[in-house]
């Protein structure tokens, strides 16, 4: 997930610098995004969202592991148990 987020930001930066600049400019004008600071803020917020999402996932996985093996055990129907 983190690699995907970093890769997406890198792909955007490379594309914007190598030919996609006019498309980004048209998008910015169409959506009333003024100045490069808005794009910088958006990319920083996306990075923070990636970090926050990762922290939440790690926290939830930790809680599930701390709950013990009963929480992780698969359901086995009574007809299969011997």
The model's pLDDT over 8-41, given as tens digits with 9 standing for 90+, comes to 888 888 888 888 888 888 888 898 888 888 888 8
Distance CA(27)–CA(73), nearest Å, equals 50
> Would residue 79 count as lying in a domain?
no
> Would residue 75 count as lying in a domain?
no
> Would residue 77 count as lying in a domain?
no
* Residue span of the structural domain in which 50 resides: 2-69
| Residue range 68-74: mean pLDDT, rounded | 59
Q: What pTM did the predictor assign?
A: 0.56
Q: How many domains does the chain have?
A: 1
DSSP 2-25: HHHHHHHHHHHHHHHHTT-HHHHH
> Would residue 19 count as lying in a domain?
yes
Residue 52: per-residue pLDDT? 92
> Would residue 43 count as lying in a domain?
yes
Residue 69: per-residue pLDDT? 64
> Would residue 12 count as lying in a domain?
yes
The Cα-based distances of 44 to 2, 17, 38, 58, 75 in angstroms read 14, 18, 10, 21, 43
């Amino acid at each position: 997930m983190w690699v995907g987020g970093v890769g997406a930001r890198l792909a955007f930066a490379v594309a914007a610098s190598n030919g996609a600049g006019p498309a980004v400019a048209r998008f910015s004008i169409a959506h009333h995004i003024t100045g490069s600071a808005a794009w910088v803020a958006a990319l920083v917020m996306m990075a923070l969202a990636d970090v926050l999402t990762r922290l939440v996932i790690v926290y939830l996985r930790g809680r599930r592991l701390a709950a013990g093996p009963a929480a992780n055990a698969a359901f086995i129907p009574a007809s299969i148990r011997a």
